[in-house]
Amino acid sequence: MRIVHVANFYGPSSGGIKTTLHELGRGYLKYGHEFIYIVPGPRYIKEQTPFGLKITLPSFTLPASGGYQIIRSNKQLLNLLEFLNPDRIEVSDRFTLLKVGRWAKQHKVASLVFSHETLNGLVKKYAPLIPVSFRNRFVNWHNRKLAASFDTVIATTEFAAAEFVRIKTTNLRKVALGVDLQGFKPENRDHKLRKELLKGAEYLLVHCGRMSPEKEPARSVQAVSELVKAGVNVRLIIVGGGPLWNKIRKQSLGLPIEMLGYVASREKVAGYLAAADIAIAPGPLETFCLSALESLASGTPVVASKSSAVGEILNINSIRPAGAVASDNGADFAIAIKQLLNKGRLRKVAREQAEKFSWANTVDAMLDVHGAKQPMITTKRRLKVA
């Protein structure tokens, strides 16, 4: 089976979408399928990768996005799809790639779209003055249009699915994403690195994610400020770059905060996550939050926004959750962090929770959506790289 995945917002510093593409590709290839992923880039390029054939199409960069790119020509994209003749199409962009779903229906190719974002949350965040009734009508209209354009809508959590459940979407499927349980593990904790990062502090906190408005990185800075006022001897390291980097750096002045910028090495990121006592995931719009799951896999409990899907991942309503949730303000985050620190070690709980989310499970669920359960269909045709 030839599976083609089209994704915008993919790039050198993109996190969750890039990881998802690579892990899906790796899994599909393992079962004998052919995987081709089409992403934005500087020009037309084809290259074989360990995750399948990667094709980049000329793109433009979204202003003030920190480098996010979008494929420039849908016409070129659709011509390429016609040439590739896929058996299945996957899309990671609920906003600019609706034409791909319509093309797939016209050509009788099964298609699915990942709803990686909460449209209701984005509209509320970036257009807060719009009346609630109008916002709900707009969100419902767009989500109906999205669901009608593709055969299947994939939501990664109940939180992500909620706005589709509200309009009684009949082609909705829930597929949880996974985490690299070998690359991120408690054994990565390096006590020498931890000591270097602490710089004499008692507790080490980590924030790993893009410095962009929807991620609310300032919340982590505010939480540290509140903890310092309360006499808690903490130090925060921030891993990630983005359009708010300079603003966050200025807000961090005078506080025990170190900004490391974007870190390309997954091994280094894994080391930072394992070294910390608590990871902070303040984004209120997260529909999954891969960095939070990577923290859990590293044995590090998470404090997350009560407004996001991360509480589901933490199993927050269980007897012993793998972290805590807080209201969307620095003071409440500081209280949750302090309470979690007082609870003692939760490294085993965090790791056990992460182990429920493997990429093998994700790939198996996706192949079920594609109607390709084991035994898998061996690919009979390959696209040669020019």
- The CATH number assigned to the domain holding 116 equals 3.40.50.2000
Is the model more confident about 373 or about 136?
Answer: 136
Mark whether 93 and 164 lie in a shared domain.
yes
**Domain enclosing residue 105, as ranges:** 2-178+357-369
Residue 374: pLDDT band with limits 50, 70, 90: low
Query: Does position 322 have pLDDT exceeding 80, yes or no?
Result: yes
* Within a domain: 309: yes
Mark whether 196 and 172 lie in a shared domain.
no
pLDDT at 118: 86
Mark whether 338 and 364 lie in a shared domain.
no
| Closest to 46 measured CA to CA, from 33, 59, 57 | 57
Long-range contact pairs involving 249-254 (C-beta distance under 8 Å, separation at least 24): 251/218, 251/221, 252/221
Residue 244: pLDDT band with limits 50, 70, 90: very high
Residue percentage of the chain with pLDDT more than 70: 94
> Domains in the chain: how many in total?
2
Q: Among 12-21, 26-35, 334-343, which is the least confidently predicted range?
A: 12-21
Mark whether 361 and 297 lie in a shared domain.
no
User: What beta strand segments (E) does 290-346 contain?
Assistant: 302-305, 323-326
Model pTM above 0.75: yes
Phi, psi (degrees; rounded to nearest 5) at 5: -115, 125
Is the model more confident about 230 or about 122?
Answer: 230
Q: What is the pLDDT of residues 283-302, one digit of tens each?
A: 999 999 999 999 999 999 99
With DSSP H G I counted as helix, E B as strand and the rest as coil, what are the percentages for the chain, rounded to 5?
Answer: 40, 20, 40
* Within a domain: 376: no
Query: Does position 44 have pLDDT exceeding 50, yes or no?
Result: yes
Mark whether 170 and 218 lie in a shared domain.
no
pLDDT at 129: 83
Mark whether 104 and 196 lie in a shared domain.
no
Mark whether 173 and 305 lie in a shared domain.
no
* Within a domain: 385: no
Query: Does position 12 have pLDDT exceeding 80, yes or no?
Result: no
